[in-house]
Amino acid sequence: MTKPTAAEPRPDRVRHSVQAGVTRLRRSWPALLLTALLVVLMVPAALLVAPGFLGPELPAPPPPAPAWQQAPARLSPEAGLTPLSASASIPLASSVTAQVEPLLKADGGGTFTGLVQDALTGQVLFDRGGSDNRVPASNMKLLTAVAALRALGPERRFTTSVKSGPAAGQVVLVGGGDVLLAPGESNGEQVMGHAGLATLAVGTVEALKAAGTSGEIKVLVDDSLFTGPALNPVWAEGDVAAGEVAPVYPLALNSARYDPAVTTGPRPQDPAMTAAEEFAARLRTAAAAAGLTVAAAVERSPVPASASGEEPGKPAVLAEVESATVARQVDLMLQASDNYLAEVLGRMAAVAAGHAGSNDGATAAVRAQLADAGIPVDSIQLVDVCGLATGNQVSARHFADVVRAITTGTDGRLRAALDGFPVAGLSGTLDTRYRDDSTARGAGLVRAKTGTLNTVLALSGYVVDADGRLLVFSFIGNGLTPGAAGNRAALDRAATALAACGCR
């Protein structure tokens, strides 16, 4: 048997060494466990105490902002509608007719006529009796808008002034065509109420004080700018009683309304005197602080203020206020379909042309301005200029021609009427229409003047079709069943078809 070398441990010695190590480990186990426990407790304590020695912990950097919140490296191009292109395809007349024809059906009695044209070329794309004269209702206001913008100019304003009276102690309120006067202070941001009687009264008192006036002041009113019957005899008594219109004078409050927010019901029957009495009340308030009194009664001036003699030391004009521009008044007339304002603008167009400020002068002025604009008028019959009368006779072709003149004609003054066209589903007399599935595609796209009488409906305006082509249209229904809902829907669906048309 071989003996182990000195370098090799004997088995009994190995076993003894292992047993000794285990014994020592057992004896030291409580100390090791205590040490581990102390380490576990010291780590959190150190974390709590460390900031006191190291200072506050720096906040973590914020996450990067999303791309849409970061400053752009370059500016985006200016937003807006792209200009119309003359190269856009003109719709096929056969396709337009196929779209419009089945929609333009009367609900009950009566018939519709209509015309659709390409705005740039005048090419007729749909024609159903387009040259036949019809009762146009308030589409008449489109003709009046053209006449006013041409005869007066878009930037023209109407002046309401106070002048020295024909006798001492008298002042004359002179109507200059502004029927949108407010009783209070002027508000230059508004069309209705751009000029205010309270502002005019303050200016008048200042002028009277500067002239050394004392005693009682008497107010006269001069409304001689307009002549002839103030109430057109062709207007139905029921329409006048319902407040569709009022006697026409060259000055009035709120377009001859007691309250501008109430557009139905009774109206002043002498709007000029109503305005003069309100001015006298405002003058009385302003004059009290200056030691002046104002007589209660207001009378019409016996002679026009322009013919009144001037007292020594007194200016002819004591104070004046100006209306909103004709362009803004035309927009209001079209958006709200304001009969009273239309009649006044027609008379002012007549005065500007050197004619009488009467109904006959207004209708003659409208015809003359249309003819000068290149629109044939031989077959047109006009008995008022607001469209309330049923004796007016105008064709859909005439209205399409007028809309073409406004949108693409050579007379840039007429562009001022574009904002006045109500927008389908959004503004003016179209704000509550184009809401159902059959017309929703026209909402925001169709821009058109409405017309409504008992048996008459009309819609004339413009639209850009699906291919980017500008189209003008006029649809007129006469002899319709009063109140039949399908008739208005027929007009709106026909116009919507044009907006959605990719009719190539």
Write out the catalytic residue numbers: 138, 141, 337
- 10 Å CB burial of residue 295 (0-12, 13-18, 19+) is middle
**Cβ–Cβ < 8 Å for 367, 145:** no
Q: What are 116's strand-pairing partners?
A: 126, 473
* Of 154, 134, 137, 136, nearest in space to 145 by CA: 154
The four Cα atoms 416, 422, 423, 426 give a dihedral, to 10 degrees, of: 130
367 to each of 11, 135, 228, 391, 409, how far by Cα in Å? 135, 16, 19, 15, 18
Measured from the Cβ of residue 324, the count of other Cβ atoms closer than 10 Å reads 22
Distance (Å, whole) CA 163 – CA 96: 60
293: left (phi over 0), alpha (psi -120 to 50) or beta: beta
Distance CA 405, CA 409 (A): 4
CA neighbor of 107 nearest in space, from 477, 445, 424? 477
d(C-alpha 494, C-alpha 309), whole Å: 61
Number of neighbours of residue 419 by Cβ within 10 angstroms:
15
Distances (CA, A) of 40 to 48, 345, 484: 14, 95, 89
Mapping DSSP to helix (H, G, I), strand (E, B) and coil, where does residue 57 land? coil
Q: What does the block give as tokens for 90?
A: 């003109």
Q: Which residues contact 27 (CB under 8 A, 6 or more apart)?
A: none
Give the DSSP H/E element, type plus range, for residue 452.
strand 447-453
C-alpha dist (Å) from residue 499 to 89, 95, 160, 463: 14, 13, 44, 6
Q: Which residues pair with 124 in a beta bridge?
A: 117
The Cα–Cα gap between 469 and 120 comes to 9
Q: Where are the alpha helices (DSSP H) in 323-470?
A: 326-336, 339-352, 359-372, 396-408
DSSP string computed for 179-202: --BBSS---TT-STTSSBHHHHHH
Two structure tokens written together for 467: 């291919």
